[in-house]
Amino acid sequence: MPKLFDRVTIAGVGLIGGSLALAARAAGLIGEVVGYGRTEANLQTALRRGIIDRYSLEPLDAARDADLLLLAVPVRACGTVARACAPALRADAVVSDVASVKQSVMQDVEAALPAGLSFVGAHPIAGTEESGAAAAVAQLFHASRCVLTPGPHTNPAALAKIRALWEGVGMHVEEMDAARHDEIVAWTSHLPHVVAFSAAAAVADTDEAMALLSGPSFRDLTRVAASSPEMWTDIFLANAAHIGRSVGAYAATLTELRRAISAGDAAAVTKLLERARDARRRWTARAAGGVG
Amino acid sequence: MPKLFDRVTIAGVGLIGGSLALAARAAGLIGEVVGYGRTEANLQTALRRGIIDRYSLEPLDAARDADLLLLAVPVRACGTVARACAPALRADAVVSDVASVKQSVMQDVEAALPAGLSFVGAHPIAGTEESGAAAAVAQLFHASRCVLTPGPHTNPAALAKIRALWEGVGMHVEEMDAARHDEIVAWTSHLPHVVAFSAAAAVADTDEAMALLSGPSFRDLTRVAASSPEMWTDIFLANAAHIGRSVGAYAATLTELRRAISAGDAAAVTKLLERARDARRRWTARAAGGVG
Statement: residue A20 has pLDDT above 90: yes
- d(Cα B115, Cα B96) in Å, to the nearest integer? 15
Q: Each residue of A56-70: pLDDT tens digit? A: 999 999 999 999 999
The alpha carbon of residue A6 is apart from the nearest alpha carbon of chain B, in Å, by 31
Q: Each residue of B121-140: pLDDT tens digit? A: 999 998 888 889 999 999 99
Statement: residue B292 has pLDDT above 80: no
Residue A249: its pLDDT value, please? 97
Please state the rounded mean pLDDT for residues B34-54.
Answer: 97
Angle, in degrees to the nearest 10, between helices B191-203 and A240-262: 120
- d(Cα B24, Cα B141) in Å, to the nearest integer? 11
Q: Do A257 and B197 touch (CB under 8 A)?
A: yes
Sheet strand arrangement including A145-148: A122-125, A145-148, A172-175
With cut-offs at 50, 70 and 90, classify the pLDDT of residue A78. Answer: very high
Q: Each residue of A186-213: pLDDT tens digit? A: 999 999 999 999 999 999 988 888 888 8
Q: Each residue of B222-269: pLDDT tens digit? A: 999 999 999 999 999 999 999 999 999 999 999 999 999 999 999 999
Q: Each residue of A124-148: pLDDT tens digit? A: 998 888 889 999 999 999 989 999 9
Q: Do B125 and A277 touch (CB under 8 A)?
A: no
Looking at the complex, does the CB of residue B157 fall below 8 Å from at least one CB of chain A?
A: no
Nearest CA in chain A to B275: A201
Residue A292: its pLDDT value, please? 33
Q: Each residue of B148-204: pLDDT tens digit? A: 999 999 999 999 999 999 999 999 999 999 999 999 999 999 999 999 999 999 999
- d(Cα A216, Cα A225) in Å, to the nearest integer? 15
Looking at the complex, does the CB of residue A259 fall below 8 Å from at least one CB of chain B?
A: no
Task: Count the alpha carbons within 13 Å of B39 in the hemisphere toward its beta carbon.
Answer: 11
Please state the rounded mean pLDDT for residues A111-133.
Answer: 92
With cut-offs at 50, 70 and 90, classify the pLDDT of residue A31. Answer: very high
Residue A288: its pLDDT value, please? 60
Statement: residue A287 has pLDDT above 60: yes
Q: Is B59 in contact with B40 (CB distance < 8 Å)?
A: no
Q: How far is CA A194 from the centre of its chain?
A: 15
Q: Do A202 and B253 touch (CB under 8 A)?
A: yes
Domains and CATH numbers, chain B: 5-177 (3.40.50.720), 180-287 (1.10.3660.10)
- Which chain B residues are within 8 Å of A249, Cβ to Cβ? 202, 205-206
Say how many C-beta atoms besides its own lie within 10 A of residue A266's C-beta: 16
Q: Do B261 and A199 touch (CB under 8 A)?
A: no
Looking at the complex, does the CB of residue A189 fall below 8 Å from at least one CB of chain B?
A: yes
Looking at the complex, does the CB of residue A255 fall below 8 Å from at least one CB of chain B?
A: yes
Q: B13: alpha, beta or left, given left = phi > 0 and alpha = psi -120 to 50?
A: beta
Q: How far is CA A119 from the centre of its chain?
A: 17
From the list A24, A40, A41, A198, the residue with the least C-alpha distance to A96 is: A24
Looking at the complex, does the CB of residue A288 fall below 8 Å from at least one CB of chain B?
A: no
Statement: residue B7 has pLDDT above 50: yes
Statement: residue A290 has pLDDT above 50: no
**What residues are paired with A122 via a beta bridge?**
A148
With cut-offs at 50, 70 and 90, classify the pLDDT of residue B288. Answer: low
Q: What is the pTM of this model?
A: 0.89
Looking at the complex, does the CB of residue A143 fall below 8 Å from at least one CB of chain B?
A: no
Residues 6+ apart with CB under 8 A from B35: B9, B10, B13, B43, B46, B47, B51, B52, B54, B55, B56, B62
Compute the mean pLDDT over every residue in chain B, rounded to the nearest whole number.
Answer: 95
Predicted complex ipTM: 0.89
> Which of B206, B220, B261 lies closest to A240 in CB terms?
B261
- d(Cα A78, Cα A109) in Å, to the nearest integer? 6
